[in-house]
Amino acid sequence: MEIGYDQRPEIASITVHRPGDRQGVVLRGNYQVKAFDTAGRKMEVVYAGADPRVEPFTLVVDDEAATLTIAGARRESGFSWLM
């Protein structure tokens, strides 16, 4: 993720990589940020699939725990807020 800062931090872009993909696909503005609270360490991003190279997904982060949902399949992982 590329984080910008105006009045407060905001997500400027998201780069998505498939396994083995070094270049990735950059998503800019075609996703919905439902929550992005760096102090509370909570984030929710929904991508509806505007670019056919990237499947729709939802990413939910609560503190250092992340859940990525793609086509009904959930993947849980750690998350770092280091910026």
Parse the chain into domains and list their residue ranges: 2-78
Closest CA to 14 of 75, 56, 62: 56
The percent of residues in the chain predicted with pLDDT above 90, rounded, is: 78
Predicted pLDDT at 29? 82
Q: What is the distance between the alpha carbons of residues 40 and 46, in angstroms, rounded to a whole number?
A: 19
Closest CA to 8 of 46, 32, 31, 40: 40
Give yes or no for residue 5 having a pLDDT over 80.
no
pLDDT in tens, 13-43: 999 998 999 999 999 989 999 999 999 999 9
Q: What is the distance between the alpha carbons of residues 24 and 79, in angstroms, rounded to a whole number?
A: 19
